[in-house]
Amino acid sequence: MTPFPLPLESLLGHWPSYLVYLAIGFGFGYVLEIAGFGKSTKLAAQFYLKEMTVLKVMFGAIITAMVLIFLTSALGLLDYNLIWVNPTYLWPGILGGLIMGVGFILGGFCPGTSVVAAATLKIDGLVFVLGAFFGIFAFGETVGLYEEFWNSSYMGRFTLPQFFNVDTGVVVLGVVLMALAAFAFAEYSERVFGKGLLGAQPRWRLGAAGVLVALALVTLLIGQPTNADRQAGLAVVQNTTLNDRLVQIHPGELLSYLNNRMVVPYLIDVRSETDFNAFHLPGAHHVPLENVLALAQELQFLPRNTLFVVMSNDETAATEAWRILNAESVPNVYILEGGINRWLDTFADAEFQAAYRVSAAGDDQLAYAFPVALGARYAAADPNPAAFNLEYTSKVTLSVGRGATGGGCG
């Protein structure tokens, strides 16, 4: 069974999938409107501690989504790696949050609720949206002045479990308990500052809180799947793919993509440092096999037309690296067929092979003995495609990776 999220464009086609997005957007806006979030007075009331509906609704939605995401991930129903998580730029993010918070207090809207207000022709909502458009324009015209700061303190896909160095389930349970404490404070402040104008609170909220705590505990007890767990679940598919030679690409095909401006090749060399220094392809990244898993999250943020090719001396270590990256849902990962040895057998001239080829090499051992570690400065590392007429079956098919989605408060 394919885990969620489902690839809508593959299932429905490009334009029909947009109808789904439209329906979700319309439903979200409709719920905001009927909840009263299109009124600036209702939104601003939370800053006077009179009516905390915004905090309770938004925080409630956050913890509900969080619990369901990580519970279904723990159960193997959802592939968390396919969910886009905005990369963290720490100091620009803090400054942007402060600017947005001040704007929220002054204007009574956040970006999403201002659009809802504008859709119902509220004048303050229309003015706020126009202000947002002006801010976007001003940012676009001036970002070059502070671009270095804008791109500073990059931390990648950085989450609370990484920050606290604890299990994901611990964070899920902790955030749920924090939210319930915030809800209790919100109701207290409404009674004190709102003079009880909201009336009696529904009793079912206590049951809902209990359910969320119970599901958070289940998430903690089950735990999130490890890379080894994912590989075990994909074992049949991975073995079939490898045995049918669907991802092992010929050196000639890799060479063609190294000279293709429409594709961004990302070469991952998992060999020992000694072998890598002796000979490697231009632009290759030396990543020891034990570090491949840590690299996976970073690879998710590269352009969608990136072609990842893992390589070792033959295919043994590269195949293990492929299994790791495939289990982490990194798209467009292939293996250099025959590894560096096959590359040299294909592109090195007869004189080079006669001088450096070793008659017998062990499993995943470099079959060439180089007298000097020149790395990518050997001629065979960067051959001229026009000098070779190679026949091979093309296997690379670039698939669409995860795309960035909007963020904010709604």
Q: Are 175 and 246 in the same domain?
A: no
Residue ending a domain, among 187, 210, 225, is 225
Check: CB of residue 150 under 8 Å from CB of residue 143: yes
Q: Are 273 and 354 in the same domain?
A: yes
What's the rounded Cα separation, in Å, for the pair 111 and 269? Answer: 45
pLDDT range class, residue 9, cuts 50, 70, 90: confident
Number of domains in the chain: 2
What's the rounded Cα separation, in Å, for the pair 314 and 384? Answer: 23
Average pLDDT over residues 324-338: 96
What's the rounded Cα separation, in Å, for the pair 216 and 118? Answer: 38
| 133 assigned to some structural domain | no
Residue 66: domain span? 52-81+159-225
Q: Are 235 and 369 in the same domain?
A: yes
Q: Give me the count of residues in the chain.
A: 410
Q: Are 202 and 268 in the same domain?
A: no
Average pLDDT over residues 392-409: 68
Residue 349 in tokens: 């001239």
pLDDT at position 35 is: 85
CB proximity list for 23: less than 8 A, separation 6 or greater: none
pLDDT at position 311 is: 98
Higher-confidence position of 409 and 287: 287
pLDDT range class, residue 197, cuts 50, 70, 90: low
Residue ending a domain, among 175, 199, 225, is 225
| 147 assigned to some structural domain | no
Asked if the model's pLDDT at residue 409 lies above 90, the reply is no
pLDDT range class, residue 14, cuts 50, 70, 90: confident
List the one residue out of 185, 171, 265, 275 whose CA is nearest residue 223. Answer: 171
Q: Are 356 and 248 in the same domain?
A: yes
Handedness of CA 31, 34, 35, 41 (dihedral sign): positive
Average pLDDT over residues 154-175: 93
Check: CB of residue 58 under 8 Å from CB of residue 177: no
List the one residue out of 127, 105, 140, 110 whose CA is nearest residue 38. Answer: 110
Asked if the model's pLDDT at residue 2 lies above 60, the reply is no
pLDDT range class, residue 288, cuts 50, 70, 90: very high
Lowest mean pLDDT among 52-61, 186-195, 274-283: 186-195
| 176 assigned to some structural domain | yes
pLDDT at position 115 is: 92
pLDDT at position 399 is: 72
Q: Are 371 and 247 in the same domain?
A: yes
| 42 assigned to some structural domain | no
| 382 assigned to some structural domain | yes
Q: Are 220 and 234 in the same domain?
A: no
For the segment 252-269, what is each residue's pLDDT rounded down to a tens digit? 999 999 999 899 999 999
Give the H or E element holding residue 264. Answer: strand 264-269
Average pLDDT over residues 128-136: 93
pLDDT at position 166 is: 95
| 271 assigned to some structural domain | yes
Asked if the model's pLDDT at residue 408 lies above 70, the reply is no
Query: What distances in angstroms separate CA 339 from CA 105, 254, 256, 309, 335, one per listed residue?
Result: 59, 11, 16, 10, 8
Higher-confidence position of 237 and 194: 237
Q: Are 243 and 273 in the same domain?
A: yes
Q: Are 346 and 292 in the same domain?
A: yes
pTM over 0.85: no
Asked if the model's pLDDT at residue 410 lies above 60, the reply is no
pLDDT at position 131 is: 92
Residue with tokens 């994912």: 230
Query: What distances in angstroms separate CA 172 from CA 2, 41, 57, 220, 267, one per listed residue?
Result: 25, 33, 18, 8, 36
Asked if the model's pLDDT at residue 170 lies above 60, the reply is yes
Average pLDDT over residues 85-107: 91
Residue 48 in tokens: 């006077």
pLDDT range class, residue 274, cuts 50, 70, 90: very high
Q: Are 294 and 207 in the same domain?
A: no
Asked if the model's pLDDT at residue 189 lies above 80, the reply is yes
Mean pLDDT estimate for the chain: 90
Asked if the model's pLDDT at residue 193 lies above 90, the reply is no
CB environment 341-364: b (16+ within 10 A), e (fewer): bbbbebbbeeeeeeebbeeeeeeb
Average pLDDT over residues 288-303: 91
Residue with tokens 């913890």: 63
Residue ending a domain, among 200, 225, 250, is 225
Q: How many helices (H) and strands (E) does the chain have?
A: 19, 7
Q: Are 63 and 206 in the same domain?
A: yes
What's the rounded Cα separation, in Å, for the pair 128 and 171? Answer: 36
The full DSSP string for 27-86 is HHHHHHHHTTTT-HHHHHGGGGTS--HHHHHHHHHHHHHHHHHHHHHHTTSB-GGGS--P
